[in-house]
């Protein structure tokens, strides 16, 4: 609510989504903000808010890429997110008192989504029972040449996070049932992961695939 008041949007109309549908933010040299500190401060507060609001994780990741040279289009997108928060200020995480402590993971990748670098995005969320305990949206470090490659890289990053989380649960003397269900919606990536014999065109992602397969 402080963010909404500080941006003078208390009387504005709420937005149904964190960012406008189909919007692709990119670096643009026109219409630079005369006061970029306002944009940086707002995005910094949104990043902090994202610790308890996974619904804005992807959008904040998009906005945080333009802190150096924000433009008017980036500022309008940030204000759109504030208007989204105005419509659901009380939304948050729920941790039930009765929890089966069963891990369940969802992973997805957005192939070549960055119009400036054509890097893909990795997104995942990890549930412990019905409670969401870990989530992330992050740009992949290298360019993927296919959706299957982007998905495999996303799965490898998700497995690393899942391993770290299981180690924490072991330290807390919490036992989780195996195997852990990992959901991915790309059939090509699943076929590559299930096949121990790699084609020449998939050798460059063999390391990530073996990491997921062995886990």
- Are residues 23 and 78 both part of a single domain? yes
- Are residues 127 and 202 both part of a single domain? yes
- Are residues 153 and 111 both part of a single domain? yes
Measured CA to CA, the distance from residue 206 to residue 213 in angstroms comes to 10
138 DSSP 8-state letter: E
Last residue of a domain, one of 58, 87, 116: 87
- Are residues 162 and 108 both part of a single domain? yes
Measured CA to CA, the distance from residue 116 to residue 164 in angstroms comes to 32
Measured CA to CA, the distance from residue 206 to residue 197 in angstroms comes to 10
Whether residue 97 lies inside any domain: the answer is: no
pLDDT computed for residue 114 by the predictor: 83
pLDDT computed for residue 82 by the predictor: 96
- Are residues 136 and 186 both part of a single domain? yes
Whether residue 161 lies inside any domain: the answer is: yes
- Are residues 83 and 149 both part of a single domain? no
Determine which helix (DSSP H) or strand (DSSP E) holds 167, and give its type and residue range.
helix 147-171
- Are residues 165 and 196 both part of a single domain? yes
**pLDDT exceeds 80 at position 211:** no
Measured CA to CA, the distance from residue 116 to residue 183 in angstroms comes to 29
Between 4 and 194, the higher pLDDT residue:
4
Q: How confident is the model at residue 152 (pLDDT cuts 50, 70, 90)?
A: confident
Whether residue 80 lies inside any domain: the answer is: yes
Whether residue 144 lies inside any domain: the answer is: yes
Q: At what angle do helices 147-171 and 206-214 cross, to 10 degrees?
A: 40
pLDDT computed for residue 142 by the predictor: 84
Whether residue 12 lies inside any domain: the answer is: yes
pLDDT computed for residue 25 by the predictor: 87
**For position 123, which CATH number holds?**
3.30.420.10
Tell me the residue range of the domain where 37 lies. 2-87
Q: What is the mean pLDDT of residues 11-20?
A: 94
Measured CA to CA, the distance from residue 103 to residue 165 in angstroms comes to 10
pTM value is 0.80
**CB 96 within 8 Å of CB 134:** no
Q: What is the mean pLDDT of residues 132-159?
A: 89
List C-alpha distances in Å: 192 to 113, 152, 203, 208, 212: 22, 9, 10, 11, 11
Domains contained in the chain, number: 2
Q: How confident is the model at residue 177 (pLDDT cuts 50, 70, 90)?
A: confident
- Are residues 33 and 135 both part of a single domain? no
Whether residue 69 lies inside any domain: the answer is: yes
pLDDT computed for residue 202 by the predictor: 61
- Residue 61 corresponds to which tokens in the numbers above? 């990741």
Whether residue 95 lies inside any domain: the answer is: no
Sheet holding 181-183, edge to edge: 131-139, 121-128, 103-110, 181-183
Span 47-90, pLDDT tens digits: 999 999 999 999 999 999 999 989 999 999 999 999 999 999 98
Span 92-103, pLDDT tens digits: 899 998 888 899
Last residue of a domain, one of 23, 52, 87: 87
**CB 74 within 8 Å of CB 63:** yes
Q: What percent of the chain has pLDDT over 90?
A: 55
Q: What is the mean pLDDT of residues 28-55?
A: 89
Whether residue 93 lies inside any domain: the answer is: no
**pLDDT exceeds 80 at position 110:** yes
- Are residues 107 and 175 both part of a single domain? yes
Measured CA to CA, the distance from residue 133 to residue 153 in angstroms comes to 21
- Are residues 111 and 76 both part of a single domain? no
**b (16+ CB within 10 A) / e for 6-16:** ebebeeeeebe
CA-nearest of 14, 26, 22, 28 to 81 is 14
- Are residues 131 and 205 both part of a single domain? yes
pLDDT computed for residue 26 by the predictor: 86
- Are residues 55 and 137 both part of a single domain? no
């Amino acid at each position: 609510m402080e963010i909404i008041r500080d941006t003078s949007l208390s009387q504005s109309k709420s937005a149904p989504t964190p960012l406008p549908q189909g919007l692709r933010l990119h670096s643009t040299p026109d219409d630079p903000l005369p006061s970029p500190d306002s944009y940086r401060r707002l995005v910094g507060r949104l990043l902090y808010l994202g610790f308890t609001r996974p619904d804005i994780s992807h959008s904040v990741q998009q906005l945080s890429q333009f802190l150096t040279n924000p433009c008017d289009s980036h500022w309008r997108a940030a204000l759109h997110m504030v208007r989204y928060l105005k419509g659901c200020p009380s939304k948050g995480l729920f941790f039930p008192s009765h929890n089966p402590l069963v891990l369940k993971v969802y992973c997805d990748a957005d192939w070549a989504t960055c119009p400036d670098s054509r890097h893909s995005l990795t997104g995942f969320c990890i549930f412990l029972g019905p409670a969401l305990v870990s989530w992330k949206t992050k740009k992949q470090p290298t360019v993927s040449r296919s959706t299957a490659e982007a998905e495999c890289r996303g799965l490898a990053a998700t497995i690393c996070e899942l391993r770290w989380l299981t180690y924490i649960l072991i330290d807390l003397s919490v036992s989780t049932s195996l195997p852990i269900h990992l959901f991915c919606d790309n059939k090509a990536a699943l076929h590559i992961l299930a096949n121990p014999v790699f084609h020449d065109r998939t050798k460059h992602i063999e390391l990530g695939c073996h990491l997921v397969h062995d886990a």
